[in-house]
A and B are shown apart, each in its own frame.
Chain A
């Protein structure tokens, strides 16, 4: 029984990888887009800001520290925030989830496999990015005591990101379009997670509130773990991650159960 289930997951992941790589240009652009954004926005902007200020520290960050922070932020983005469940909303709206209501393999499992396949590619990309950055001297070789916890935390929290994406996708049972919802969430995710501006530069009151939101988990915390400058106790971070995962799992279950009653399998 368990071997059958394992075979289903393994074959779906392999099939998902094959589909991702079918359109080679698309695949290549998807992989390099975050790096292009990083070079053209994060790295350049922060470098300019420090140059304008005569290299004076900002919020305790020197220019080198800030640029290293931004480099690890890119790695965290590869590992955590890159997956998008655009297809789920579109599939619900266009009635394309019908097949998964018939197959003895649930829709959430299929999407989880798609996510795992995507993560596999992202891990390779992150590894390439780390090696490149070390080679060209953007970051020093990280000690394993920083790299391993950073990778472990990033990959754990990517599951939370998947749950967010999945739950937002399911809202398509009610809303014709869900892209604006995702856009707003992604905007908040970038601004409040410390992906671009480190949370330490935010007002104290906002920092206190953000501690209880999922946002620092998806950028600030893993970046600090990679840098070896953890500011939030790990048990608290894992507890927040577990709480948010439980909330999003529950939200997905409730949304699915209610939403599926409204599903009309349009176009069939």
Chain B
């Protein structure tokens, strides 16, 4: 019996997609004979996740992240390969399996639109067989943590996107799942709401040790929550490891931004090996400095030039991901 929360081997998802040429001609053509092509969304995907881990699935749109989540949560059937999630085969969707997982979809609401959130919670209380005492306690705790207790009896359709997402989170956590799939939980939210949700999950995971798989296009979410990341490009796993290793995947250099009080000499020998990128005014520059020389080079710059501001890159993960999305060949198979 596996002790891992998730194990999958050579998980593959292919599906048929129909193509239609534009215009009336295309419509008539597709009416007589439709062109179908096989699309491989995920290919030979292997993964192991221990209980209590938080793993970020990274990749551009269409990379296969959500398809992986759908397969692991039992929503879609894999074409090939095998998966074990909490000891269950996901696509069999055993009742016990469903009782122990949760999926939050940032782009889709799972709560009932036409009734207040609290009514939906009560429904979910019954579905997940949560006792009245636990239900009341959890609703109180989660509602307070997320700051939405005053909105419980408002119809869901009358809530803002951020408020709705907080209700979705509550709904998904009422049964205290062992494993939580978070698919873009902060999409479309303002920065304040994004941070609230990040902080909430950090605290929730610290207390409950829930295994979490997160996809997000906001690198701040990944950076704040995920010690480990898995990069998916073109349906294949291209990186799996600690986030700090990922940041250094393209080299151990720090990106430093400098702002000067007055224009400086761009041809100065100081900049020669630092791959400078000057802004048009000549008063700002971005440099790549080897990690082990950061202190020495910085001191030298400070002593020779009128530096007004100095900052190092906040989220190298964003730059690395951007670079790999544009040039996937930079990372080995």
Q: Which residues of A contact B (CB under 8 A)?
A: 4, 7-8, 11-12, 15, 18-19, 22-23, 95-96, 98-99, 101-105, 260-261, 263-265, 267-268
Contacts and interface: CB of A to CB of B under 8 A. Distances in A.
B98 A102 contact: yes
Contacts of B108: 95-96, 98, 267-268
B98 A104 contact: yes
A265 B76 CA distance: 7
A14 to B, nearest CB: 9
Contact of B103 (A95, A102, A264): A102
A22 B114 contact: yes
7 contacts: A8-B126, A11-B126, A18-B115, A19-B115, A103-B127, A104-B95, A260-B77
Nearest to B100: A104
Contact of B77 (A15, A18, A261, A268): A261
A104 B125 CA distance: 11
Contact of B76 (A8, A15, A99, A263): A263
Contacts of B102: 102
B62 to A, nearest CB: 13
Interface string B288-301: 00000000000000
A11 B121 CA distance: 11
A99 B110 contact: yes
Contacts of B73: 102
Interface residues of B, number: 33
Interface of B: 15, 66, 70, 73-77, 93, 95, 98-99, 101-103, 105, 107-108, 110, 112, 114-115, 119-120, 122-124, 126-129, 155, 183
Given A11-B123, A15-B115, A102-B98, A265 B75 contact: yes
B90 to A, nearest CB: 10
A264 B76 contact: yes
Contact of B70 (A15, A104, A260, A268): A268
B114 A102 contact: no
B119 A18 contact: yes
Contact of A102 (B101, B119, B120, B126): B101
Contact of A15 (B93, B101, B123, B183): B123
Nearest to A18: B115
The 4 A-B residue pairs whose C-beta atoms are closest, nearest first, are A99-B110, A22-B114, A11-B126, A105-B127
Given A102-B103, A103-B124, A267-B107, 16 more contacts: A11-B126, A15-B112, A15-B122, A18-B114, A18-B115, A19-B112, A22-B115, A22-B155, A96-B108, A98-B105, A101-B93, A102-B101, A104-B98, A105-B127, A267-B108, A268-B183
Contacts of B93: 101
A12 B107 contact: no
Nearest to A98: B75
A103 B98 contact: yes
A96 B108 CA distance: 8
Nearest to B41: A264
A262 to B, nearest CB: 8
B153 to A, nearest CB: 12
A144 to B, nearest CB: 37
B129 A4 contact: yes
A19 B144 CA distance: 27
Contacts of B66: 268
B123 to A, nearest CB: 5
Contact of A23 (B76, B110, B114): B114
A102 B128 CA distance: 11
B74 A101 contact: yes
Contacts of A101: 74-75, 93
A87 to B, nearest CB: 12
Contacts of B115: 15, 18-19, 22
A4 to B, nearest CB: 5
Contact of A264 (B15, B74, B112): B15
A15 B119 contact: yes
Given A11-B123, A99-B110, A268 B128 contact: no
A18 to B, nearest CB: 5
B67 to A, nearest CB: 9
A228 B96 CA distance: 51
A268 B95 CA distance: 22
Nearest to B69: A268
B98 to A, nearest CB: 4
Given A98-B110, A268-B66, A268-B70, A104 B126 contact: no
Nearest to A267: B108
Contacts of B105: 98, 268
